Amino acid sequence: MFFNFRNPVILFMLSIVGLMIGLAFKVMHWPGGKLITGSMIMVQAISIIWLIIIVVKSPKQ
């Protein structure tokens, strides 16, 4: 059962790291900060939706 949840959780954790990098870019006013931050927020939303789908479709025990 744990293995079904592993991929979206890993994707969410990696997107948090990417979000921190994007926020650092925004704080330092480097180009691309908005792009990185926005794309990582979208990846987080996709991973949460993916996890919800897995939970809903999981067989009841």
DSSP state of 61: -
Q: What is the pLDDT of residue 15?
A: 97
Which two tokens mark 15?
């997107």
pLDDT of residue 61: 67
Total tally of structural domains belonging to the chain: 1
Which letter does DSSP use for residue 58 in this model? S
* pLDDT given for residue 60 in this prediction: 73
Contact predicate 22/50, CB 8 Å:
no
Any idea how long the chain is? 61
CA 47/CA 53 separation, integer angstroms: 10
Q: Is residue 3 part of a domain?
A: no
Residue 7 lies in a domain: no
Question: What per-residue confidence (pLDDT) applies to 5?
Answer: 85
Helices marked H in 1-61: 2-27, 33-57
Q: Is residue 59 one of the residues assigned to a domain?
A: no
Domain coverage including residue 20: 12-48
List per-residue pLDDT tens for the chain, 61 residues long.
556 788 999 999 999 999 999 999 999 999 999 999 999 999 999 999 999 998 888 777 6
